Amino acid sequence: MTRDRLPRVRLRDVAERAGVSTTTVSFVLNERPGTGISVDTRDRVLRAAREMGYRPNAAARSLRTQVTNTIGLISDQIVTDNYGGDLVRGALVTALELDHLLIVVESQDDPEVERRLVGDLLSRQVDGIILATITSDRIGLPGIRHGRTVLLNCTSSHALPAILADELAGGRDAANALLRAGHRRGIYLVGEVAEAVRPARERRRGVAAALGEAGVELEGTIECTWWPESAYDAVSTHLASGEVPRALICLNDRVAFGAYQALADAGLHVPEDVSVVSFDDSELARWLRPQLTSVALPYFDMGRIAVESVLGLSEEWAASQQQEQLVAMPLRERGSIAPPRRP
């Protein structure tokens, strides 16, 4: 830390140095079309600005133009989460491309904090607000009153556009990957079964749909939470019962991790003995041995789309008004699926 702010160079200073009016400087610097500024004047202004290290004062400009080139991203706890960071990163990168800055805030799931943060953002006249959650479900809205608001990874009763992963199609893809390899029997689902959790619900529905269409039935469900330890326990218990599955559809990579551990402890090999497919495509998927085939959560894209939407630039904009926009979950095929063993 040194001293504080240096004396700022103002537009007027540049004007004086260049020997022109502030209007001229403003026109030149903003590259305003239709103003017949002479090349000579233009150059003088540009040079003066450069030499003096001029930097427009955003507050003054915003006050005048009512535009801040800033968008607010408020989340419950997204930055915390592992791949949740990608949501932010997609938004960050896109905002930058579109010449906007992102104010990121986290409510930590506290409605009181959320109210205050939204207020702060509104005070700052952000050009738009992105409301994101990691839980991917949401009812109440914190009394948002900003014309340009989009929901990211969540929905609400209010008629606001929402960007969501196409978990249903993702579920189908996961099941189809198994079917393509020839699996028909001994397929188990592993993970959280709560109906209230959108990703779990939709993924399961997608799996069931794809399997159903192929005339195949799930052999059963191995219930556990979203975490490795829980999955390890559940799968271990299941294996102890003597039933050996042919394929596991894990509701996320962490669950798959736990499943791998349980399988290994039981002397079972992936994918020779048991095929595994999963969701999220987190870093874990590439770290496991064999590497895990996983249906990727398109968080980066979703962040990108949210920014495009909130700035009203999305191509599908008109169509997506007050609608859910589903983003595809690409299947990343790796080494955890093989044809089933001959019985």
| Residue among 43, 108, 194, 269 that touches a copy of itself (CB under 8 A) | 108
The token duo for 96 is 């930058």
Q: Contact at 8 Å (CB) between 94 and 304?
A: yes
DSSP string, 223-274: E--SSHHHHHHHHHHHHHTT---SEEEESSHHHHHHHHHHHHHTT--TTTT-
3-state percent breakdown (helix, strand, coil) of the chain, nearest 5 = 40, 15, 45
Cα–Cα distance measured from residue 299 to residue 325, given in angstroms and rounded to the nearest whole number = 13
115 part of the interface to DNA, by CB under 7 A: no
User: With respect to DNA, which residue has the nearer C-beta, 58 or 240?
Assistant: 58
Instruction: Give the Cα separation of 115 and 128 in Å (integer).
Output: 16
Q: Which is nearer to DNA, 8 or 289 (CB)?
A: 8
User: What part of residues 121-140 is at the interface with a copy of itself (CB under 8 A)?
Assistant: 121-125
105 binds DNA (CB under 7 A): no
Between 16 and 137, CB nearer to DNA? 16
Q: What is the DSSP letter of 210?
A: H
Q: What does the alpha-carbon distance between residue 116 and residue 281 come to, in Å, rounded to a whole number?
A: 35
Is residue 27 near DNA by the rule CB under 7 A? yes
Q: Of 47, 50, 51, 60, which one interacts with DNA (CB under 7 A)?
A: 60
Binding track over 167-206 against a copy of itself, x by CB under 8 A: ----------------------------------------
Note whether 80 binds DNA by CB under 7 A.
no
Q: Please name the residue that has the structure tokens 């551990």.
A: 261
Contact status: 115 vs a copy of itself (CB under 8 A): no
82-86 LR contacts (CB < 8 Å, sep 24+): 82/282, 82/283, 83/280, 83/282, 83/283, 83/297, 83/299, 84/134, 84/299, 86/297, 86/299, 86/300, 86/303
Using CB under 8 A as the binding rule, the residues of this chain from 264 to 303 that contact a copy of itself are: 264, 283, 286-287, 289
Map the footprint of a copy of itself across residues 46-105, applying CB under 8 A.
Answer: 53, 55-60, 62-63, 66, 68, 70, 79-82, 84-86, 88-89, 92-93, 96, 101-105
Q: Using CB under 8 A, which residues numbered 21 to 50 contact a copy of itself? A: none
Rounded to a whole number of angstroms, the minimum distance from the CB of residue 15 to DNA is: 7
Sites of contact with DNA (CB under 7 A): 8, 10-12, 19-24, 26-27, 29-30, 32, 35-38, 40-41, 54-57, 60-61, 63-65
